[in-house]
Chains A and B, each alone.
Chain A
Amino acid sequence: MREKNTPPGWTYNPAAWNQRVPIIVLALGGFGIATYLSLYQLEVTTNVWEPFFGDGSVRILNSFISNVLPFPDAALGAFGYLLDAVGGVVGGPRRWRTMPWIVVLFGLAVGPLGFISVMLVIFQPVLFDAWCTLCLASAVISVTMIGPAMDEVLASLQYLKSVKRTDASLWKAFWGYKGVEEKVEANVGTDS
C-alpha cells in the first residue's frame, strides 16, 4: 500500500515511524552501554562488567587509544548515540522532504559512528590482544543501525537532486523552507 508520504518511485516510506522506531531503540541501547562504559573511564564506577574475557575490558578501557581524546572514548560514543537517537526522533513521516538537513545529519551521525566502532573492534585484538564484551556489543549496535538508516538518507538526497533540476533554491530546500516544496511539486507534476 502506497501512502501519500512515500517518496516518488519508492514502494515504502523510509521516514515512516515503523522504519525509524527500531533505529531509535537501538541508539538508546547503545547510549546506555556507552554511558556505562564512560562512567567507568571517568572513574565514577570502579568495576566494569566483563563475563567472558577476564581483564579484557579493563585493559581495553584503560588503553592509550581510549585516552587519545581529552575525554574518554566511550563518552564520544555516548554523544554519538544520543545524536543518532535525537536525529531519529525529530521530524514527521515526511521529513525526507520537509527537513532534509536532519536526515542528512542523522546519516552523518550513524555512518561515521559505525566506522569508528569497527575500527575500535579491530584495535582490541591487534593492538592490545584483549576483548571487551560491552565494547563489542556497542559495535554490533552501531553496525546494525547503518543499513536501516541509509534508506532515508537516499530518499532525501534524491529529493534534493530533484530540487536541483528545478529553479528552486537547493539551500532553502535543504533547510526545509515551506515554499520550495510546493514549487518542486508543481515542477515535477508538469514533467511527468
Chain B
Amino acid sequence: MWAQILNSLIGIWLMAAPNVLGYNGVAADVDHIVGPIVTTFAVVALSGCTRKVGRLNIIGGVWLIAAPWILGYDHSSSITNAIITGILITAFSLFKRQTQQEYGGGWSQLLK
C-alpha cells in the first residue's frame, strides 16, 4: 500500500515539477500528462479488488526514463527529474498491495 501512496505523490510532484524546477516545452508536457495518469492508477490500486491496476504505472515509469532521449529534453533538471521519478515509479509499481480479503476469484474469474 505504501508503494501506491508514494507513486500517487510522485504523480502529483510531476504535475508541479515544471513550475518548481523551471522548465517548459515538451519535457513539461510529458510530466503534465504522465503525472495525473500515474496518480490515478496508484489511487485506484489502493483498493484491494483493483490493486493490479498499479502495475500499469510501469508504462509511465519506463516512458519517463526513455523520454529525455526520444524527445530530446534540453534542460538538465528536467532530464534528472524524469529519470529519477521514472525509476522510482517503475520500482514502486512492482509492489502489489497485500490483502487479507478474497474477491470470489477476482476479475480473471470472468474469463473462465
Interface residues of A (CB under 8 A from B): 7-12, 14, 114, 118, 121-122, 125-126, 139, 143-144, 146-148, 150-151, 154-155, 157-158, 161
Contacts and interface: CB of A to CB of B under 8 A. Distances in A.
Contacts of A150: 44, 47, 49-50
A150 B103 CA distance: 11
Summarize A's interface: helix, strand, loop or mixed.
helix
Interface of B: 15, 18, 28-29, 32-33, 36-37, 39-40, 43-50, 53, 100-107, 109-110, 112
A121 B102 contact: no
Contacts of A121: 15, 36
A151 B103 contact: yes
Summarize B's interface: helix, strand, loop or mixed.
helix
B32 A9 contact: no
Given A118-B37, A122-B36, A157-B110, A147 B43 contact: yes
A146 B47 CA distance: 9
A161 B32 contact: no
| Centre residue among B15, B45, B106 by max chain A CB count within 10 A | B15
A161 B104 CA distance: 12
Contacts of A161: 109-110, 112
Contacts of B106: 154
Nearest to B47: A147
B44 A143 contact: yes
Given A126-B32, A161-B110, A12 B37 contact: no
Contacts of B40: 114, 118, 143, 146
5 contacts: A9-B105, A121-B36, A147-B44, A158-B104, A161-B112
| Centre residue among B29, B32, B46, B49 by max chain A CB count within 10 A | B49
A10 to B, nearest CB: 5
